[in-house]
Structure 1
Amino acid sequence: MRERPGDLRRDGAGRQPAPGAADTPEPTEALAALVAKLRTELTGVRAAMRNRAVIEQAKGVLVERLGVTPDEGFDHLVKLSQRANIKLIEVAASIVGGTAADPQVTPVTELSDGGRPAPARGTTPAPARRATPVRRATPTPATGRRPAGGAAATGRSARAPEHEALQAQHQLISSRVAASTTFDEVAEVIGTAVTSWPAPATVVITLLEPAGAHRLVGAHGMSAGERGAWRRVPPQFDVPIVTAAQDRAALLITDPKVLAERFPAMAELPYAAEAVFAAPLLDGDRVIGSLGLSWDEPIDLDDTSRRYLSALAPPVARAAAQVADRAPSPASGGPDLTAGPDSDPASWLAIVLETVPEPAAVLAPVTEDGRIVDFRIWHANAAAAELISPARAGEDATLLLAYPRVGSERLLPRLADLLHNGGAVRLGPTRVDPASTRLITAQAGRLWDRVLLVWREHSEHELIHPQLLDAERIARIGSFHWDLADPEPRCSPQLYRMYRGDERPGRISAEGLAGCVHEDDLPAVQDAIHRTLTGGEQLSWEFRGAGRLAGRQLRIVAAPVVDAGGTVTTVRGTVQDVTEERALQGRLRLAEEALTAQRRRVDAELRAAQSLQRALLPSEPELGTTEGLWVTGRSRTSNSTGQVNGDWHDACALPDGASLLVVGDVAGSGLAAMAAAARLRYAVRSYAALNMSPGEILAAVNTMLCALEPERTATLVVARYDSREHRLCWASAGQAVPVRYRGDGGAELLPGPLGLPVGVVAQVTYEDSTLEVAPGDRLLLYTDSLVGARGTDLVGALDPLLGAGTHAGRDDLEAVVSHVVGALHGGADADMAAMLVRVNG
């Protein structure tokens, strides 16, 4: 039987292990154990490398003090460590720290309540110095020799034991930082070192990019995801590391409330921060990045701790500059240039600037009380050096010295904002000073903690020339200058473009220009040119093009120049393509003619509609023939619209002695609406003469409209009054309900249903409503336009209608209409029809 691989296990010599022997570990477990062991050894080697510099310095001190060999000095260190039960590196740091002077640090700005800077404590402000070209600082190796002057020179006797401990810690941290090979190792040293302040929760190191952004290059206490999300911090993002770099001053905030008020953007960070320290990383007078520490709870530091906290920045800056020089750029595979240029004229920045044909300079900010007051010309190319006068091109040359007015008013505030927020600055043509004819255009971008400015000076003529060329191109006009002693005229680029299709200069002869004129227009153009050349007349002529200009309309204007004897020597002029203008004028002329014809048609139609309306509406004598009734009516046309609408009213006596009352409104306006109203008027009269009731009349009219004019609709109120029985029978087709004003002063709407407008739906039945009226009662019949447009809710119009009884009692229809229109805020001249009827007895 074939054995499976797991059924038989053998030792390294192929022998089967003895019974009871322990199983060998799995390959993955063995590999994991080996990796863990190697990682531990690597960590130990790295720690030893970081500590070696301090141990070597301590051996040097013992050699100088005790007169022993280096090996004997190391034995002394080992014995001191064993005797005091203290780690060897800590003993070495104490010896070196006790002999070193206090570090020189800049003040730390601490924000108090309200975000106001508090006075710096425990620090000695660095002496002010004039900015100079950048030179990278080279660390001076320790000699181990005690400075002359004994203990007083080193300051050892003046320092308390706590101070000595801080100095030893600082020396140890500085040595470990200097021995680090990556930015993450530098951050880890600061985050894990034993110091007088609490261990920070997060340490970040950033390098300043040319555009002003901070690139995260090292961190401790941040996950990979957090580092990826905050790989780059823009200059306008208000966080302490950005502010410290911009102000070139260390910043400490120990109050969480002050931190939240001064830097609200900190709430967006992926970790909690209750206290923050930030310091700029300086390489000479140049900011190369920032160091940031944050704690997840408030801290309280004494003056000495603040001093040594600020002292972290210089060794980190030196290590950052060295690490940046060694690290390859992921994008290009070459050196990482984010550490910035140096002042060597042969450096890459100087080489790049010299290739720029325009004046270019790198400007370094000059600050007073934290505010930028000027920019020093840190480096300028040859073109810029020639542009700046020799008296201002020395070491102290500044932006305001070179350009006092435009520099202070336009450039200085915009460049200062550029340093803080990044982006770009573009300055259009601006006069250098009010009395000068020089103009300046400039572009600027941020370059680390400085500004790269590229500018150019212009004369007004230099700027006007391209402006004129643009004007010729936009207006499609070319110019020429023809010296008659020269057979060829000198033309502008636009004229070349019109003649040949491109603006390259070339030969244009008089014969060639003649070939551009349509053969039918050529004699007239030649005659006009002849008068100009011989008689000195100014030429202004339009002609049609030929050849490449076929289909174009051109206009030539020429002015001759004559000498003292009256002879024409030169002709200057322009040629303009006016095809689009003439086409537009032609279309405008046609539109005006069409508008005039339309206006005449509308006026004729209006006059016809007005005549038809006057013929349609009954006269007052005709209204007075109704038996037992007094009737007055009004049909009004709006003056603002200039159109006649289809509102009408009618009253007449019927053969049986009854009276017919009608108010109607045909949809639409103009002659067609009035013609439809005329047909409806006579149709209603005809149906009424057949002794049809109002409901039957509306049904017949509806059938007529649906059959003969299906696109037309109308609203009507038809009433029939029997004077012998004082009985009123009425029906409505989409019109408003009539109003009854009783003789005793009361008012009411007539009871009865409302039907659909006629012409909407065929085969509609309309119901009659009957009521008895008394002598002295008055009835108001009206179109719905009196109380609002069609479709308006009529509930709000009841009070004005019912309240018009006083005016109706005086038989004043105009007063009734004015009262209702005024109460409803309607149009004073809106089209409407109304009829007021009084029952006599």
Structure 2
Amino acid sequence: MRQRPDEPGSAVTPGPVDEAHAPEPNEALAALVTKLRTELAGVRTAMRNRAVIEQAKGVLVERLGVTPDAAFDHLLQLSQRANIKLVEVAASVVGATAPDPQAAPVTTAPARQPGGASKIRRPGPGASAPGKNRPPAHEALQARHQLISSRIAASGSFDEAAEAIGTAAASWPGPATVLITLVEPAGAHRLAGAYGMSAHARRAWQQVPPQVAVPITRAARDRTALLVTDSQEIADQFPDLADQGLDAQAVFAAPLLDGDRVIGTLGLSWERRVDLDADTNRYLSALAEPVARKAAELAARATASPAGTDEDSATWLPIVLETLVHPAAVLAPVWADGQVVDFRIEHANTAAAELISPARAGQDATLLTAYPRVGSELLLPGLVGVLHSGGPRRLGPARLSPTAGADPAISQVMTADASRVWDRAVMVWRVHDESELIHSQLLDAERIARIGSFRWELERAEPHCSPQLYRMYFGDGQRHPVRVGELAGCVHSDDLPALQDAVKRTLVGGEQLSWEVRGAGRLAGHRLHIVAQPELDGAGIVTAIRGTVQDVTNQRVMESRLRRAEVALTTQRRRVDAELEAAQALQRTLLPSEPELGATEGLWVTGRCRNSADPGRVDGDWYDACALPGGASLLVVGDVAGSGLAAMTTAARLRYAVRAYAALDMSPGEILSAVNTMLCVLEPERTATLVVARYEAQDHQLRWASAGQAAPVRYRGDGRAELLPGPLGLPVGVVAQVTYSDTALELASGDRLLLYTDSLVGTRGTDLVSALDVLLGAGAHVGSDDVEAVVSHVVESLQMGRDADMGAMLVRVTN
């Protein structure tokens, strides 16, 4: 065959070159590199296509009875007539005779839009047999599948296999990215090959832990292919996909199986939505099989190959397990309906075989047959978690059911450590008496409580001490020689004689020792509580002493602090009691006496201060009534914010200040303005509400002013009730230089007035309108001149709490 000049290996005689137009050396070198790269790409394409061409030649040799060269010429003629590439003609010939791939079903998420996802099933009994009356579309799918499979089989690396999938002319849209991963022993997915990925994306997918929510980890975990074609479903199910540098509108992932082992995954993504029919989905899923074969072949060439685990593990795993003292086994998951239902004991060392009964240690031994209860409750879910997360996990402790013939009083406990090796789990466990766990718990208790124990057999010079006692004495838990005579250096010299005397009584008389001493040397500043119990022989002679030494330094410090706090609390209580008594006495002094109430001309006056039900509290409520020069009377009701002696002191100052200002013939509004200035200057931290009224008996005129929201209530003789009209001002002590106005009105004989503090209607949670309605409706109780009845009626009607304090004064015009 004549060789074309542009084909590789052709010999071309160079013609003359014009030296003036000769290319630069760098340009010539770049052109040569480009040419070589193009030729290399062509050679690689030819190598990938050679397998399917050779298969087609074999089919024609068998069907037509011709030689291989004649079969190749026949393929060339078909290619030229149909104007189709030779490799595609060969794929069509092979696809028409090859059986359909038995692809595994594809799990799909429910689509948010019609046609957004599909589910592939294996061909049913009615599926067309290979090469028998298959429609042309079906044969086209088969041909493309054979072509892609051949290109994958001819690939020399994982990247070439991914490129063969990404660039193939398939019935589905070309994917934006293709990736192939291998599963590492701990379950992580290591990127082996990719197509369409940037360098940044490759770094993000270099190693993906099994717990990351991306399609390949889900496919490997569930051992089934999945296809999601809705972007919202992708965001919901795989939130970590965006963090891995992929913004996909559709994704596909399938596990790569080598026997029953998951050795890797195949993943595809599209940047737009794809709609695939059932046959196309089935052939898409079938890509996993040739990729798995190629992955096993390529991985087998590497030294750290997971593909050889079936053969290699049978050699080295038993050897490794036999080096372990404790029982150990390699457990293979048993799958049913997409879930792990048990673990098959694949390899076990001698210690494990002795622990498991011979009847359950055969080829079909499983975790649940060996340990039914503990296996189902603890081991099975724990091992499944190890497979999913890839990280090691401590399981137990768990109580085991007593075996046949065992003493039921002796409780056995299992503890296990498990880790993942590829898609298997390695478990190392121990079965021991519960006393071993209790021993470690006792050591922890000694360390936490800072207490050590000892046993001293008198015939020996060195007592046996617990680790905590060594830690207290030497500062660590290491065992050091400790002589009994050396222990005297740990005791303060002032406490040593008494301790030696107590020890003598224990050794000679067999008395129990309980003593507290101060430490010395390294234990200086510590207090130690020693308890020792002698052991006697049959003759009553002390042969050994066992006991404990506890560091009670912190306890004694806390006790000292507690005693000081108790003393301070007692002092505080006495001071509070003294202040309470003083406040109660001051309140009694502030309230007017009966002679003072009766001295008001033309009025009958009575009052009531209701304190909180708290016995340790005195509130700042008060009222006052006194006669003024010229036949006038002063009426005051006040409430100082706060409680206790300080509030009552302020109330006393306000009482006498109001009396003094009233004696100067100041109006109620002027009195409130003056009191407000006094409180802002002298006691800026205090506020108070006041109602001040001045009654002139000669003309029955009442002038009143309020610092607060309590307007007096007037009950007429005919039973009508009304709030006195007039302005209400801010409490005194809130803002300086506030002007208060007073209001004048005429009272009739028999009218009654109720003056009260804000707390009677302004308690938190009380509706003001409802409270005023209750006050206006209290006329029936006012008729008896019983202020106690009025206050009780208001309190009960408004359901005020036991802590509500208030002051009220009832006034009746007598003439």
Provide TM-score, normalisation by structure 1.
0.81
Per-residue CA deviation, residues 187-235 of structure 1 (Å, 9 max, x unaligned), is 333344456x445535443322333344443344666666665555554
For residue 120 of structure 1, what is the aligned residue in structure 2?
Answer: 122
For residue 129 of structure 1, what is the aligned residue in structure 2?
Answer: none
Residue range with higher mean Cα deviation, 605-614 or 749-758: 749-758
Contact 1:636 1:829 in 2 (8 A): no
Give the AA of the match of 1:317. Answer: A
Contact 1:663 1:781 in 2 (8 A): yes
C-alpha deviation, 1:663, in angstroms: 1.6
> Mapping of 1:465-484 within 5 angstroms?
465-484=439-458
Give the direction of change, closer, same or farther, for the CA distance of 1:777–1:720 in structure 2 (3 Å limit): same
For residue 177 of structure 1, what is the aligned residue in structure 2?
Answer: 152
For residue 288 of structure 1, what is the aligned residue in structure 2?
Answer: 263
For residue 398 of structure 2, what is the aligned residue in structure 1?
Answer: 430
Give the direction of change, closer, same or farther, for the CA distance of 1:42–1:229 in structure 2 (3 Å limit): same
Residue range with higher mean Cα deviation, 752-761 or 35-44: 752-761
Give the AA of the match of 2:804. Answer: A
Give the direction of change, closer, same or farther, for the CA distance of 1:822–1:228 in structure 2 (3 Å limit): farther
C-alpha deviation, 1:44, in angstroms: 1.0
Give the direction of change, closer, same or farther, for the CA distance of 1:313–1:441 in structure 2 (3 Å limit): same
Give the AA of the match of 1:120. Answer: R
> Mapping of 1:645-794 within 5 angstroms?
645-698=619-672, 701=675, 713-734=687-708, 736-755=710-729, 757-758=731-732, 766-788=740-762
> Which of residues 181, 187, 200 in structure 2 aligns to 1:206?
181
Contact 2:761 2:772 in 1 (8 A): no
> Mapping of 1:243-322 within 5 angstroms?
243-249=218-224, 264-265=237-238, 270-273=247-250, 279-292=254-267, 296-302=273-279, 311-322=286-297
User: 2-side partners of 1:637 and 1:160: how far apart?
Assistant: 101
Per-residue CA deviation, residues 658-714 of structure 1 (Å, 9 max, x unaligned), is 222122233443234334433443444344445444345445555665676666554
User: 1-side partners of 2:786 and 2:348: how far apart?
Assistant: 95
Give the AA of the match of 2:260. Answer: D
User: 1-side partners of 2:606 and 2:394: how far apart?
Assistant: 79
Per-residue CA deviation, residues 2-33 of structure 1 (Å, 9 max, x unaligned), is xxxxxxxxx97655x7xxxxxx8899987776
| Counterpart check, 1:379 vs 2:379 | no
C-alpha deviation, 1:91, in angstroms: 6.1
Give the direction of change, closer, same or farther, for the CA distance of 1:66–1:571 in structure 2 (3 Å limit): same
For residue 367 of structure 1, what is the aligned residue in structure 2?
Answer: 335
Give the direction of change, closer, same or farther, for the CA distance of 1:32–1:297 in structure 2 (3 Å limit): farther
User: 1-side partners of 2:663 and 2:558: how far apart?
Assistant: 62
Give the AA of the match of 1:314. Answer: E
C-alpha deviation, 1:654, in angstroms: 2.9
- SS, match of residue 582 in structure 2: helix
For residue 403 of structure 1, what is the aligned residue in structure 2?
Answer: 371
Contact 1:659 1:721 in 2 (8 A): yes
C-alpha deviation, 1:429, in angstroms: 1.1
> Which of residues 147, 150, 161 in structure 2 aligns to 1:186?
161
User: 2-side partners of 1:427 and 1:670: how far apart?
Assistant: 62
* RMSD, aligned α-carbons: 4.2
Contact 1:784 1:790 in 2 (8 A): no
User: 2-side partners of 1:703 and 1:106: how far apart?
Assistant: 95
For residue 490 of structure 1, what is the aligned residue in structure 2?
Answer: 464
Residue range with higher mean Cα deviation, 564-573 or 525-534: 525-534
Give the direction of change, closer, same or farther, for the CA distance of 1:116–1:420 in structure 2 (3 Å limit): farther
Contact 2:118 2:276 in 1 (8 A): no
C-alpha deviation, 1:838, in angstroms: 0.9
- SS, match of residue 444 in structure 2: helix
> Mapping of 1:103-252 within 5 angstroms?
105=102, 107-108=104-105, 120-122=122-124, 171-193=146-168, 197-198=171-172, 200-201=174-175, 203-220=178-195, 235=210, 241-249=216-224
Give the direction of change, closer, same or farther, for the CA distance of 1:648–1:58 in structure 2 (3 Å limit): closer
Contact 2:118 2:278 in 1 (8 A): no
Contact 2:299 2:306 in 1 (8 A): yes
Give the direction of change, closer, same or farther, for the CA distance of 1:712–1:51 in structure 2 (3 Å limit): closer
> Which of residues 607, 614, 622 in structure 1 aligns to 2:588?
614
Give the AA of the match of 2:275. Answer: P
| Counterpart check, 1:594 vs 2:568 | yes
- SS, match of residue 515 in structure 1: helix
Identical aligned residues as a percent: 67
- SS, match of residue 826 in structure 1: coil
C-alpha deviation, 1:425, in angstroms: 3.4
Give the direction of change, closer, same or farther, for the CA distance of 1:666–1:33 in structure 2 (3 Å limit): same
Give the direction of change, closer, same or farther, for the CA distance of 1:733–1:95 in structure 2 (3 Å limit): closer
Contact 1:238 1:263 in 2 (8 A): no
Contact 1:109 1:120 in 2 (8 A): no
- SS, match of residue 289 in structure 1: strand
Give the direction of change, closer, same or farther, for the CA distance of 1:765–1:189 in structure 2 (3 Å limit): closer
User: Which ranges in structure 2 are unaligned for 5 or more consecutive residues?
Assistant: 1-15, 112-116, 403-407
C-alpha deviation, 1:542, in angstroms: 1.2
Contact 2:253 2:266 in 1 (8 A): yes
| Counterpart check, 1:46 vs 2:48 | no
Give the direction of change, closer, same or farther, for the CA distance of 1:474–1:238 in structure 2 (3 Å limit): closer
C-alpha deviation, 1:524, in angstroms: 1.7
> Which of residues 508, 521, 528 in structure 1 aligns to 2:495?
521
For residue 331 of structure 1, what is the aligned residue in structure 2?
Answer: none
- SS, match of residue 800 in structure 2: coil
Give the direction of change, closer, same or farther, for the CA distance of 1:476–1:377 in structure 2 (3 Å limit): same
Give the AA of the match of 1:475. Answer: A
- SS, match of residue 45 in structure 2: helix
- SS, match of residue 344 in structure 1: helix
- SS, match of residue 48 in structure 1: helix
For residue 528 of structure 2, what is the aligned residue in structure 1?
Answer: 554
Give the AA of the match of 1:808. Answer: V
C-alpha deviation, 1:261, in angstroms: 9.9
Give the direction of change, closer, same or farther, for the CA distance of 1:730–1:240 in structure 2 (3 Å limit): closer
Give the AA of the match of 2:492. Answer: H
User: 2-side partners of 1:505 and 1:453: how far apart?
Assistant: 34
Give the AA of the match of 1:74. Answer: D
Contact 2:467 2:477 in 1 (8 A): yes
Report the count of equivalent residues: 777
Per-residue CA deviation, residues 127-157 of structure 1 (Å, 9 max, x unaligned), is xxxxxxxxxxxxxxxxxxxxxxxxxxxx998
Contact 1:105 1:123 in 2 (8 A): no
User: 2-side partners of 1:709 and 1:175: how far apart?
Assistant: 99
Give the direction of change, closer, same or farther, for the CA distance of 1:116–1:446 in structure 2 (3 Å limit): farther
Provide TM-score, normalisation by structure 2.
0.83
For residue 775 of structure 2, what is the aligned residue in structure 1?
Answer: 801
Give the direction of change, closer, same or farther, for the CA distance of 1:736–1:28 in structure 2 (3 Å limit): farther
| Counterpart check, 1:629 vs 2:603 | yes
Give the AA of the match of 1:409. Answer: E
For residue 12 of structure 2, what is the aligned residue in structure 1?
Answer: none
